[in-house]
Amino acid sequence: MFQLDQLLTPSLTFCATPGTSKKKVIETASGLIAEQHPELESAEVYNNLLARERLGSTALGDGIAIPHCRLSGCEEALGSLITLEAPVDFDASDGQLVDIIFILMVPEEAAQEHLDILAGLAQLLSQAKFCDALREARSDDALYQAAVSYGH
């Protein structure tokens, strides 16, 4: 069973993050992730996430996106939950702007784990009550608590 608290840490949870575009949000997030995980290069995280976006938008609809990639320097699955100060265009198929982003990075060789985690995230983020709880959070800590305590 998918457990968000095994993937997400308080240090990778960011509430009301500024961003004006998909690229800018991914760039900001890459920097925040690299600050917490010095073994990861901000530019590599950014380039890999952007390369995946070029294959097709990772927006699920309803204001949610799950940018994701596999990284050579990544030793275990890492997740970063971000709510945006103002929604941005993520090329979602439903045309809605995105305000909740969950970035997923996994080790390069972890293909099946990558798919399993993505499926769990997509299922969780498709629940309106979960997303409402995330949108109501007003601090990084409140966002983290809302995310990991949901359903418990």
- Each residue of 22-64: pLDDT tens digit? 999 999 999 999 999 999 999 999 999 999 999 999 999 999 9
Q: Which residue, among 95, 32, 17, 29, has the nearest Cα to 68 in the 3D structure? A: 29
Fold of the domain spanning 4-149: Mannitol-specific EII; Chain A (3.40.930)
Banded pLDDT at 103 (limits 50, 70, 90): very high
Q: Which whole number is the average pLDDT over 123-139? A: 96
Q: Residue with structure tokens 């294959």?
A: 55
pLDDT for the residue numbered 1: 57
d(CA 31, CA 82): 13
Structure letter (DSSP) for residue 20: S
User: Domain ranges in the chain?
Assistant: 4-149
Active site residues: 68
Q: What pLDDT, on the 0 to 100 scale, is given for residue 26?
A: 96
Mean pLDDT of the chain: 94
Place of tokens 């097709």: 56
